Amino acid sequence: VTKTGEKLLYEEITYKIRKACFKVWKQFGGAFKEKVVDRALSLAFKNECLKVENQKRINIYYDNVKVGTYIPDKIINESVMIEVKCKPYLTKEDEKQFWLYLKGSKYKLGLLINFGTKRLEIKRRVYDKARQKNNPRSSA
């Protein structure tokens, strides 16, 4: 629940995702490459009874017209887009690119997760209310 009393979007799914991420972080820390972390995350998500789609091609739209394709690291339960990084820090460019991919997709919630820092870093981005105001295209 937010500070204003609103329920978080996909709260239960997000809780399970975060739980799985912390399990992987606890075992690996920031010591492994993205490919290893990505594989471990898939197993951890499945252990939390989450449906995982790896490298799913998603369409990017402009003005209701498909203008490209993006391949996020994971889609969870057909509702949450996940991008995994293993970098010393996330740059503004990483965050901007992730936001633009989320904004151009049908997904309302995205998590940008960085395993390369001293602490697990999870950036939660929601693109829902703005989409409803600005884009007549229906969203998932």
Place of tokens 């017209």: 65
pTM summary value: 0.84
As a whole number, the mean pLDDT across the chain is: 88
State residue 31's pLDDT score.
Answer: 79
Residue 132 pLDDT > 70, yes or no?
Answer: no
Rg of the chain over Cα atoms, rounded to whole angstroms, equals: 15
pLDDT (mean) for 83-97:
94
pLDDT (mean) for 16-41:
92
Residue 6 pLDDT > 90, yes or no?
Answer: no
Query: Which distant-in-sequence residues (6+ apart) come within 8 Å of 63 by Cβ?
Result: none
Place of tokens 């449906």: 51
Q: What percent of the chain has pLDDT over 70?
A: 88
Helices (H), the chain: 11-28, 34-47, 92-104, 129-134
CA 93/CA 133 separation, integer angstroms: 26
Residue 109 pLDDT > 80, yes or no?
Answer: yes
Q: What is the pLDDT of residues 41-88, one digit of tens each?
A: 999 999 999 999 999 998 888 888 999 999 999 999 999 999 999 999
CA 84/CA 15 separation, integer angstroms: 17
Could you tell me the domains of the chain?
11-134 (3.40.1350)
